Amino acid sequence: MSGIYVHIPFCRQACYYCNFHFATSLHFKDEMVAALVCEIEYQKDYLASENVETIYFGGGTPSLCTKEELSRMMEKIRECYIITPGAEISLEVNPDDITEEKLLDWKDLGINRLSIGIQSFFNEDLEWMNRAHSEQQAIDNLQLARKHFDNISIDLIYGTPSLTNEKWKHNVDTAISMNIPHLSCYALTVEPRTPLYKMIRTGRSPDINPEKQSGQFLLLMEWLGNAGYEHYEISNFSQPGRRSRHNSSYWQGKKYLGIGPSAHSFNGISRQWNIANNAMYTASIGKAVIPFEKEELTAVQKLNEFIMVSLRTIEGLDLDKLEEDRLNKLLTSSRKFTDTGLMKLEGHSLVLTKEGKLLADGITATLFF
Ligand code: SF4
């Protein structure tokens, strides 16, 4: 079983914190969609005839595509790959793109899951982030989407300078009260080469407060736990049976094919990533050449990736999957975390506790071979 990711590299405007690959000019959208359709075909052997159980249109902003554009990509995927009946087909959507007509179009195309970039239900935060939608659009269009789709995820961001704990509670409570089945909640990070990075460096925005972020993450775990959500991955919470199957496949080490500029692929042996430049991508695809770089993974790299991704999940790190000498070394290096309550043994798995999740990156780096 495997998954396909299609990267739509266009956005209406640049959110200040974002370091994904996208362009804000839509002038070359036609050429891009034509190139994506070609790459879907050129890559048809990448998954070695494995059935595809998830398809994910991400970006960028896939909801900027017309029905006809999405349909061309979906048709080519169906033509070139074996899609499992009941496959999860997700579309990332920005609230300002949602209309009744578009929702019906998306359903008609077979899309059965929406991932909506809400981020906050407060204008003050949305403006600070330079999001293209307002708090009213977030509420109204989320309600509209709920009428047509039962499988919905929303993204929320915490740890922004203007987000008090009271506002954070309001954002999470709003999602709970609307019975949103899946939430992806991210701590704001300041990435180099983003407008936010420059704003902080030049004093036009306060810097991130790590203590406040940690506090808001602990509150989030408490509120969503009380509301019956399963904290199945560091940043992801779901009602029973509503985990993201596509993202779960990344954490389970399954194969995936990434289509489009900057998209990554993994076939179990090597990892590759397409060039993150729209003009160079379309020009290269026009010559029937996929512009990518590739890295063969060593046994140690695969093991470290396994440690990194599995510790992010509720199932944790399955110790039965380690050879004896590796296991002994890992048990020794993890002892300082189990002794201090940052990790615990559950059956044959090592899992992060709530406090450990606050330090997940640092802990996993310490356990690497
Ligand atoms: S809409 Fe999404 S991809 Fe586009 S700039 Fe904003 S956060 Fe980044």
Tally of domains in the chain: 2
- Enumerate the β-bridge partners of residue 155: 184
CATH number, domain of 68, equals 3.20.20.70
Residue 149: pLDDT above 90? yes
The answer, as to whether pTM is greater than 0.75, is yes
* Domain limit, last residue, from 251, 279, 309: 251
pLDDT, residue 48, reads 86
Nearest CA residue ID for atom 2, ligand 1: 60
Nearest CA residue ID for atom 6, ligand 1: 15
Question: Cα separation of 99 and 104, whole Å?
Answer: 9
* Residue 339 sits in the same domain as residue 231: no
Residue 272 lies in a domain: no
pLDDT, residue 296, reads 95
Question: Which residues form the pocket of ligand 1, taking CB atoms under 6 Å from any ligand atom?
Answer: 11, 14-15, 18, 20, 22, 59-61, 94, 117
pLDDT digits 0-9 by tens, 175-192: 999 999 999 999 999 999
* Residue 145 sits in the same domain as residue 6: yes
Residue 23 lies in a domain: yes
* Residue 200 sits in the same domain as residue 345: no
Residue 359 lies in a domain: yes
Question: Cα separation of 163 and 192, whole Å?
Answer: 22
Which element (helix H / strand E) includes 94? none
* Residue 145 sits in the same domain as residue 69: yes
* Residue 140 sits in the same domain as residue 31: yes
Could you tell which of 6, 18, 157 is best to mutate to test the pocket of ligand 1, judged by most ligand atoms within 8 Å of the CB? 18
* Residue 106 sits in the same domain as residue 233: yes
Q: Which residues span the domain enclosing 334? A: 299-367
* Residue 57 sits in the same domain as residue 201: yes
* Residue 37 sits in the same domain as residue 123: yes
CA 250 to centroid of ligand 1, rounded, Å: 21
Q: Where are the alpha helices (DSSP H) in 202-347?
A: 210-226, 245-251, 278-286, 299-311, 324-339
Which atom from ligand 1 is nearest to the alpha carbon of 17? 7
pLDDT digits 0-9 by tens, 98-123: 999 999 999 999 999 999 999 999 99
Question: Cα separation of 102 and 67, whole Å?
Answer: 8
Residue 163 lies in a domain: yes
* Residue 6 sits in the same domain as residue 104: yes
- List phi, psi (to 5°) of 47: -90, 10
Residue 260 lies in a domain: no
CATH number, domain of 304, equals 1.10.10
> What distance lies between CA 171 and its chain's CA centroid?
19
Residue 290 lies in a domain: no
